[in-house]
Amino acid sequence: MPKNKLYPLDYERAFKKLQEIKPHVVKWWKGGTEAQYLLSSGEVTLIGIVNSRIENLMAQNLPFTYTVNEALVLDFFLGVLKGAPNPKAAMALLAFRFEPAVGAAISELLGQPIPSTSVWECADPSRRERWTTNPGNKKLAVPIDGHYWAAKWPGDPKRSIQQVMAERFQQFIAS
């Protein structure tokens, strides 16, 4: 399916596919540390995992790498809430974080790129080539629509699509 046709999601089709692959899944991991352990212990040889977790294993000279081909990517947003006690200081912190050299250093330390072209350009070339913010890699990745996931579930204004699907997925893996 083309990336631009992904939303709205077909939940029933997705869960049908999950049911098909479920017998072949070694473990539905619950956190990044567990995912790292599954990979580094050799219990699994292929895993969906946050790139910063693989970067961490690679920094330990373990023989891992990753691809961003069809990786799920969520660009995040930062802001200062209305009524914040010190909005000027908060805005100054955000501006500092996005200074290219500072943002690059933070990204390299965390193994997680900051979604900024100027930060990407300032980062170590050997690291930034793997990141999803690399213009070539961006074309390969699948963007997550954060607004879609945050939207209210039809018929239940108290819960978001993400909440409903997370509950359904937990029920699915428990069965």
Phi, psi of 170 (to 5 degrees): -60, -40
Domain assignment of residue 122, given as a range: 75-139
| 167 vs 4: which has the higher pLDDT | 167
Question: Does 6 fall in a domain?
Answer: no
Local confidence band at 4 (pLDDT 50, 70, 90 cut-offs): confident
Phi, psi of 115 (to 5 degrees): -75, 80
Local confidence band at 117 (pLDDT 50, 70, 90 cut-offs): confident
Question: Does 83 fall in a domain?
Answer: yes
Question: Does 123 fall in a domain?
Answer: yes
Cα→Cα distances 129→2, 122, 143, Å:
24, 12, 18
Question: Does 14 fall in a domain?
Answer: no
E strands present in 78-143: 142-143
Question: Does 168 fall in a domain?
Answer: no
pTM, whole model, 2 decimals?
0.80
Residue carrying structure tokens 């539905």: 28
Local confidence band at 74 (pLDDT 50, 70, 90 cut-offs): confident
Question: Does 63 fall in a domain?
Answer: no
Question: Does 12 fall in a domain?
Answer: no
* 3-state DSSP assignment of residue 137: helix
Cα→Cα distances 93→11, 16, 89, Å:
40, 45, 6
Residue-wise pLDDT for 5-22, tens only, equals 899 999 999 999 999 999
* 3-state DSSP assignment of residue 59: helix
> What single letter denotes the amino acid at residue 34?
E
Dihedral Cα 101, 54, 64, 115, nearest 10 deg: -40
Q: Total domain count for the chain?
A: 1
Rounded Cα distance between 93 and 95, Å, is: 5
